[in-house]
Structure 1
């Protein structure tokens, strides 16, 4: 049975990041907080830890209003951030800086109960 999803909208502050030591882990800049190996070209985001409690956990599907496609939650941000996502932009630091910081509407997928109660 194919799962079905409800898409929950939410306004967040969006920034961008790259897999370079100054923006991630100095020891392992290409490893996310959940241990995934990051590489340019993937549609991944990091989320502030308060969003984990709202359901944006590891591998949650997310649509971002200014980008095409579906992104996956693959990283966690520092404890100090709130209501924020960080969009992964590979090694293109200039592109990430040009993005800056802005408010966006995201939608994240929550699996709906597809079990029927009828006989």
Structure 2
């Protein structure tokens, strides 16, 4: 029979710290989901809608057709919708990632990236929809 030695207080302490750290990281963000209704429109990688480098987003990310990306108005950055934030848009499937910013004149606005399909963007139009995300 193997005789067990009691754990030293130091080993016990660091073991407990490790277990707590694993539990906290496994639980994910404890921040509540946020949501709000915003104006949602669509945009394309064309110079007439962006600038002379239509596939380069505000933070220098390269946009390619098929990516689930959005541009957000600058006021939404203060709400936690910063570069890389994933969000859901009412009525659209999946999650979209913030990789771009809209023109400075817009507020409470999210533009859905639609690659080169200008007709799809026009058909999408402008809507008032609920978005949700975790800051």
TM-score in terms of structure 2 length: 0.77
Structure 1 runs (4+) greater than 2 angstroms displaced? 1-6
Q: Return the offset for 1:6.
A: 2.9
Could you say which residue in structure 2 is the equivalent of 1:37?
Answer: 62
Number of residue equivalences: 109
Q: Which runs of 5+ in 1 are unaligned?
A: 111-119
Question: Which of 62, 82, 88 is the aligned partner of 1:63?
Answer: 88
Q: CA RMSD in A?
A: 1.0
Looking at both structures, which has the greater relative contact order when contacts are Cα pairs under 8 Å and sequence separation is at least 6? 1
TM-score in terms of structure 1 length: 0.87
Q: Which runs of 5+ in 2 are unaligned?
A: 1-24
The CA distance in 2 between the partners of 1:18 and 1:63, in whole Å, is 20
Larger radius of gyration between Structure 1 and Structure 2: 2
Structure 1 or 2: more strand by fraction: 1
Could you say which residue in structure 1 is the equivalent of 2:8?
Answer: none
